[in-house]
Chain A
Amino acid sequence: MQEPEGKRSEQTITREAAEQPESSEHLVIQVENVSKVFHTRKQGRMVALEDLTLGVPYGKFVTVVGPSGCGKSTLLKLIAGLIPVSAGRILYQGVEVRGLSTKVGYVPQESKLFPWLTLEENVGFGLESRNYTRQERERRVRDYIKLAGLTGFEKHYPAQLSGGMSKRASIIRALAYDPPVILMDEPFGPLDAQTRMILQDELLKIWKKRQQTILFVTHDLVEAVALADRVVVMSHRPGRIKDILEVPMARPRNIFEIHRQDGFEETYAHLWSIFRHELEIKFEEEDPEVE
């Protein structure tokens, strides 16, 4: 958001170039040479991420794209401290993450609202263990529920909400307690196109107000470009960073007519050229007989 003017004009920059101009002070999250190996009984060693380095600057909206199974969810779980790294380290505001990090909000791939709590209890859950007064808590819950267009459903249980409503609820549950960083794992994945656009638009508005840092995983390239300041492209197995693109589009953006916005087509085309190459590699690997 408050980036220097000069950067806007650079259309895309390569990974090396992206790392240079930022001193580590501007990075809220630093992933340094991180590898993650899963040991399973059947397949044995599975290298999900290998020697991955990534910095996320304060206040930025960063999206992560990559083929299915490349380790995007794994990366978010590592940053949240839900699972330990196999090698390397992850820093949060310069401090190494060990164990669960209560400083980040996490929106899982499925909504995962607590089924036994009502909508308002779900949204207020993160506020309970923090120093909010009762009034403040209630006000925040009410505001966020309104923001997400869920007013009137406060007393409903998750089983009584539609898929899109649960998604929205799951997002405001992570936003409500104001974590400085929010990790989102394909939060709009299973939604229809219209709902998706409406939610993307709402998310951008909330983000603009709150100035939080968002790391957003998606498999939708349009979404990746439309929302982001910066797109991280991951490569297939073992997961690595293939490229990082800066998105030179101005804000606020009109999500509903994003294709017409300056800079969209070029960035999208560039992203697609990188991604297509990645998909080709994947297909060749998995289906060697097809020429």
Chain B
Amino acid sequence: MMAESDEVGVSEASWPYWTRSLWINLLRIGVVGGFFLLWEMAAGRWIEPFLISSPSRIFSSFIANIQSGTLIGHTWVTLQEIGIGFPLGAISGISAGYLFGRSRTLAEIFEPIIIALYGVPRTALAPLFIVWLGIGIWSKVGVVLLLTFFLNFFNTYAGMKQMDREYIDLARLMGAKGHTLTFRVILPAVSPYIFTGLKTSIPFSVIVAVVGEFIASTEGIGFFIRLSAGIFRTADVFVGIIVLMSMVIFMNTIAGLIERRVLQWQTQTEHVRIQG
């Protein structure tokens, strides 16, 4: 039924908005719930539980891990690595992209160097950072920072190159300089690109932090997952994965909220649908 109305499009529009969104939510819950039910049934019946665990086992090990305090400790460590590395990388990346976009000389000198550096596989840098910064959180902060820097740098720089220069010229004709020019004209003009950079670097920053922890660490969610997998505590592995997923979802939500505020000049018109 849904597929049909999706194709026709007209009958869809005649539905009150809330009825449609209610249906979509119900169906979504149904799909996810069905999946968990099937998983629960399959575990121990058709597939070995140590391979896929089961929702009920994951839930009880989640509770147990929280009660013992281990999960909170590991989560806190990973959060710190991302919480320090991500903002530093994002701010420096956006600033560098902005500066390169403003100064042709800077761009000419450093652009090839940065592109060459970016060509180095990022995960291969993790061991190097561990050698330099030890197995504590700072080596992971380092890799998160580096990756976030690159992603934000490239997106901001691309935005600076593609933005309509005429806006800058017009603003300068109207007397804008320095601070006004940067914050009222240039950064807003490239803000869609900046947000693309921020949003793509969110999942990647979590990935590299965990990869860093896989390689060498004594704490963090990555360490927790690796340890649990080593002793076939599959339920704990899933608990770790769920924590990582929650982190990404949380960061995406925050980024989405900020984006909607900052880019409201773009999104406000979206209500007008030509579809009718």
**Interface 9-residue window, one of B70-78, B153-161, B162-170, B202-210:** B162-170
Among residues of B, the one whose C-beta sits closest to the C-beta of A177 is B174
**Shortest CB–CB separation between residue B68 and chain A, in angstroms?**
50
Among residues of B, the one whose C-beta sits closest to the C-beta of A128 is B180
**Shortest CB–CB separation between residue A78 and chain B, in angstroms?**
13
**Shortest CB–CB separation between residue A131 and chain B, in angstroms?**
11
User: A42 at the A/B interface (Cβ < 8 Å)?
Assistant: no
User: B172 at the A/B interface (Cβ < 8 Å)?
Assistant: yes
Among residues of B, the one whose C-beta sits closest to the C-beta of A173 is B174
Residue pair A160, B188 in contact (C-beta under 8 Å): no
CB-defined interface of A100-124 with B at 8 Å, one 1/0 digit per residue?
1110111010001011110000000
**Interface 9-residue window, one of B54-62, B129-137, B263-271:** B263-271
Contact partner, A114, options B167, B172, B177, Cβ 8 Å: B167
Contact partner, A112, options B167, B188, B265, Cβ 8 Å: B167
Residue pair A129, B188 in contact (C-beta under 8 Å): no
List A contacts of B167 (CB < 8 A). 112, 114
List B contacts of A115 (CB < 8 A). 265-266
User: B175 at the A/B interface (Cβ < 8 Å)?
Assistant: yes
**Shortest CB–CB separation between residue B155 and chain A, in angstroms?**
18
Among residues of A, the one whose C-beta sits closest to the C-beta of B189 is A116
List B contacts of A160 (CB < 8 A). 268-269
Most buried by B among A100, A104, A130: A100
A116 to B171, alpha carbons, bound, how many Å?
13
CB-defined interface of B170-206 with A at 8 Å, one 1/0 digit per residue?
1111111100100011001101000000000000000
Residue pair A112, B175 in contact (C-beta under 8 Å): no
Among residues of A, the one whose C-beta sits closest to the C-beta of B264 is A157
A158 to B266, alpha carbons, bound, how many Å?
10
List B contacts of A177 (CB < 8 A). 174-175
Interface size of B as a range: 20 to 34
List A contacts of B264 (CB < 8 A). 157
User: A159 at the A/B interface (Cβ < 8 Å)?
Assistant: yes
**Shortest CB–CB separation between residue A61 and chain B, in angstroms?**
20
Contact partner, A129, options B164, B175, B266, Cβ 8 Å: B175
List B contacts of A116 (CB < 8 A). 188-189, 191, 265
A137 to B189, alpha carbons, bound, how many Å?
24
List B contacts of A80 (CB < 8 A). 173
Contact partner, A125, options B171, B189, B268, Cβ 8 Å: B171
Among residues of A, the one whose C-beta sits closest to the C-beta of B167 is A114
A45 to B179, alpha carbons, bound, how many Å?
38
A116 to B194, alpha carbons, bound, how many Å?
14
Among residues of B, the one whose C-beta sits closest to the C-beta of A104 is B173
**Shortest CB–CB separation between residue B88 and chain A, in angstroms?**
26
Residue pair A102, B175 in contact (C-beta under 8 Å): yes
**Shortest CB–CB separation between residue B102 and chain A, in angstroms?**
15
List A contacts of B191 (CB < 8 A). 116
A159 to B74, alpha carbons, bound, how many Å?
47
Residue pair A130, B175 in contact (C-beta under 8 Å): yes
User: A126 at the A/B interface (Cβ < 8 Å)?
Assistant: yes
Residue pair B265, A126 in contact (C-beta under 8 Å): no
Residue pair B170, A108 in contact (C-beta under 8 Å): yes
Contact partner, A100, options B164, B169, B184, Cβ 8 Å: B169
A245 to B176, alpha carbons, bound, how many Å?
37
A92 to B148, alpha carbons, bound, how many Å?
48
Binding site for B on A (CB under 8 A): 80, 82, 100-102, 104-106, 108, 112, 114-117, 125-126, 128-130, 157-160, 173, 177
Given contacts A108-B170, A117-B265, A128-B175, 20 further A-B contacts (CB under 8 A): A100-B169, A102-B173, A102-B175, A105-B174, A106-B170, A106-B173, A114-B185, A115-B266, A117-B188, A125-B174, A125-B176, A126-B175, A128-B176, A128-B180, A128-B184, A129-B174, A129-B180, A130-B175, A159-B268, A177-B175
Binding site for A on B (CB under 8 A): 164, 166-167, 169-177, 180, 184-185, 188-189, 191, 264-266, 268-269
The 6 lowest CB-CB distance pairs between A and B, nearest first, are A126-B174, A129-B175, A116-B188, A157-B265, A159-B269, A116-B265
Residue contacts A-B, CB under 8 angstroms, 22 given: A101-B173, A102-B172, A102-B174, A105-B173, A114-B167, A114-B171, A114-B185, A116-B188, A116-B189, A125-B174, A128-B180, A129-B174, A129-B175, A157-B264, A157-B265, A158-B265, A159-B265, A159-B266, A159-B269, A160-B269, A177-B174, A177-B175
